[in-house]
Chain A
Amino acid sequence: MTQTTLPPVEKTQPVSSPRGTISDRSRAERKLGWLLAGPAFLVMLLVTAYPILQAVYDSLFSYRLTDPENRAFNGLSNYWVVLTDPLWWQSVGVTVLITVVTVAVELVLGFALALVMVKALSSIRPVVRAAILIPYAVITVVSAFAWQFAFNIQTGFVNSWFAWLPGIASTTDWFGGTGTSLLVICLAEIWKTTPFISLLLLAGLAQVPEVLQEAAKVDGATRWQRLWKVTIPNMKAAIMVALLFRTLDAFRVFDSIYIMTAGANGTESVSFLAYRQTIARLEIGLGSAVSVLLFLAVVLIAFLFIKGFKVDLAQARGER
């Protein structure tokens, strides 16, 4: 059995319309579109493009905030310092590890939760949906503190509750080693953002046409086959959007690390490195270089996702 999706619907072009020109009506519509979207576009440029360009510019200077007189242009040497430093590569490694682990676990968990929500009795569905969303409504800093307190050796309950598990004792110091620290950080991230993924996937599930499911049932497909051959292919766009958003988010992980370990035991992420150079050391140039590299990494991830999934976002929105 092959994958089953509905064929894309082609808009029929009016035969009489001459190719390559646009009618007065669509020109007016286009103008109205610019008028409506223009202000928002300008604001976006102001609040995103301007700081990004400023950071790119700053990254070319040796510039300490407390010593503006000695600001000096030094070309790409900040990038050289960053890219030849083992600390940068260690931070990239930690960031990628956290991203891959959390996104993979969240996708599976989120999908399961979405299936539960879509199948749950319609009377309790709103309640289930709200309950599942609660962690996502918690501020990241607060959730980081909650998890830190839970695993803390003095204030935490985890050690006493799970002492029956091998490897956990009342003296287990979760934040004393790299592996255990990262485990708790990942758990906190997963707990907090799985609802987000499951909500996006729920929207995708709702879009899968019931006719295809019924047709597959008639053909004798098992549940498992219907999931893999009908449901998932039909919600590819939703999966991509969920994965893309979460990967970009996860790659910028900062709060949980800042609260739980403050970067101790080699748990620094790339964002944390940027924070330390810019805010703590006040080295605006070096910090901007780290931020620009982080930005480029994020752009690269977005690009790879869109290419890799071969999904046309315009199609996903139903424009074509």
Chain B
Amino acid sequence: MLGGAATAFVLASTLAACGGGGEDSATPVLNWYINPDSGGQATIAERCSEESDGAYRIAVSILPRESSAQREQLVRRLAANDASIDIVSLDPPYIPEFAQAGFLAPVPADLADRVTEGVVQSSIEGSTWNEELVTVPFWANTQLLWYRKSVAEAAGLDMTQPVTWEQIVQAAQDTGTIVSAQGRRAESLTVWFNALIESAGGSVIEENSTDPDQIQLGLTSPAGERAAEVMALVADSGVVGAAFSTSSEDTSATQFESEDGGFMVNWPFVWSRALSAVEAGTLDASVPDDYGWTIYPRVDAETPSAPPYGGINLGVGAFSDNVDLAYQATECITTDENQAEYMITNGNPASSVAVYDDPEVQEAFPMAATIRDSLELAAPRPQTPYYSEVSGGLQREYHPPSSASPETAQRAAELISAVLSGEQLL
């Protein structure tokens, strides 16, 4: 049904363009499959079509909202050698799978140099598989530690210095406020767990391989056990609010906007969300004024944290008839001007470092510098063609988060290994 809707959308937009523009019918149309946003990618597509001077025209098709559902649709189409997929907006964890399966056209070497210049490190890593750039970095996301200034002050917590999870929980307990994180059994749980284990100096995958039987997991390492410990500590602290085991990013944002809000780890969309709530009159203006932000909390006081990395990178379909034009288009889409405007209008942070010096960006996002610094520290989720197995296994065993323990690590490692070698269901 979604496919039908997407097709209808493509048809509609194609017809509209033909009717209004009076363009040459020979202009190649590039189909760009985008994740849903506030219309920013469609605007960029229009602008790049115009700037191409008739070389190409970009038509956008909207994918499902959940990133796992986006992957499911794209994988099925690409496995069937769908030539209509020219450009895709890809969530980074799925990029190795696409690259390994040969679904992405190789990035031209000269273009690879140009599109990685001045780009934050985590975004380059997220676009790379087997030491080769396979996608074009577009926008890069990271989670910050958000806090209510009044609460931090009341708890006597110095937020100019890095803080640990223990300190946050303690401060929330002292002030009777809520620590918001994502405990739902979904991708967000993997995001949280991965940030914890990376912050503790470990990795979910210690020895990577394209052979599923050769993948070595790091869950039972000291860092893995420490990650489980911190997860359970937060979940059991009594300050995570009711229904922690079903709380999502949106739940967290709502909690943080309420009068009980204290601390929260979340993506920067919460800022635009609060401002629009003020505009709509459903939130008091004093609430976002009380928002503070800093780098993601540490697991150990001495080790810098490794915040979650997300965002979208652009891949070019291997079966596209217009690979060269499509790569040309990705270069237009990811210019600094487009990234800056996309950040301001849609709230999605840029992957280009220079954008953060843009005064307009700094005005719209007072936390721009923090986002940039966080992106430099951020660690991608495990890069493997078997990502959905790894993430699914983590979600099965580490949910509910209050149950996380060293035994959980053992069970999860066994489950994921068995699933990877095809001996168990997930």
Contacts and interface: CB of A to CB of B under 8 A. Distances in A.
B426 interface: yes
Nearest to A280: B388
Interface in A235-275: 261-265, 273
Nearest to B254: A154
A260 B412 CA distance: 24
A66 B76 CA distance: 9
B65 to A, nearest CB: 13
A66 B251 contact: no
Interface string B396-426: 0001100000000000000000000011111
Interface string B93-104: 000010011010
Nearest to A62: B422
Contacts of B100: 66
B376 interface: no
A171 B425 contact: no
Interface stretch (B167-175, B213-221, B242-250, B291-299): B242-250
Contacts of B103: 66
Contact of B425 (A154, A176, A273): A273
Contacts of B389: 281
Contact of B424 (A65, A85, A261): A85
Contacts of A265: 185, 245, 400
Interface in B99-128: 100-101, 103
A88 interface: yes
A221 interface: no
B392 interface: yes
B243 A176 contact: yes
A262 B424 contact: no
A62 B421 CA distance: 11
Given A66-B79, A280-B72, A153 B242 contact: yes
B186 A262 contact: yes
B79 A276 contact: no
A286 interface: yes
A277 B103 CA distance: 21
Interface in B49-68: 68
A176 B400 contact: yes
A262 B246 CA distance: 11
A283 B425 CA distance: 10
A196 interface: no
Contact of B76 (A65, A68, A82, A85): A65
A282 B101 CA distance: 12
Interface in A98-127: none
Given A175-B246, A176-B245, A277 B426 contact: yes
B75 to A, nearest CB: 6
Contacts of B184: 264
A173 B185 contact: no
Contacts of A87: 424-426
B129 to A, nearest CB: 13
Contacts of A82: 425
Contact of B185 (A68, A81, A170, A264): A264
A67 interface: yes
Given A66-B100, A154-B254, A280 B392 contact: yes
A67 B98 CA distance: 11
B123 to A, nearest CB: 24
Contacts of A277: 425-426
A138 B103 CA distance: 38
A279 interface: yes
Interface core residue of A65, A68, A88 (most chain B CB under 10 Å): A65
B384 to A, nearest CB: 12
B246 A173 contact: yes
A153 B254 CA distance: 12
B310 interface: no
B68 A280 contact: yes
A263 B251 CA distance: 19
A276 B422 contact: no
Contact of B243 (A62, A175, A281, A290): A175
A286 B424 CA distance: 10
A173 B245 contact: yes
Nearest to B399: A264
Contacts of B254: 154
B246 A176 contact: yes
Given A173-B243, A262-B186, A264-B399, A286 B425 contact: yes
Contacts of A283: 422
A2 to B, nearest CB: 51
Contacts of B380: none
Contacts of B76: 65
Contacts of B224: none
B385 interface: yes
Contact of A281 (B185, B242, B423, B426): B426
Nearest to A284: B79
Nearest to B68: A280
Interface string B148-176: 00000000000000000000000000000
28 contacts: A62-B422, A65-B76, A66-B79, A66-B97, A66-B101, A66-B103, A67-B101, A81-B423, A81-B424, A82-B425, A87-B424, A88-B425, A170-B242, A173-B242, A173-B246, A176-B245, A176-B400, A261-B185, A264-B185, A265-B400, A280-B72, A280-B392, A280-B426, A281-B392, A282-B79, A282-B388, A286-B425, A290-B425
By Cβ-Cβ distance, the 4 closest A-B pairs, closest first, are A171-B242, A66-B101, A264-B185, A173-B243
Interface of B: 68, 72, 75-76, 79, 97, 100-101, 103, 184-186, 242-243, 245-246, 251, 254, 385, 388-389, 392, 399-400, 422-426
Given A66-B103, A175-B246, A264-B245, 4 more contacts: A85-B425, A176-B243, A264-B185, A264-B246
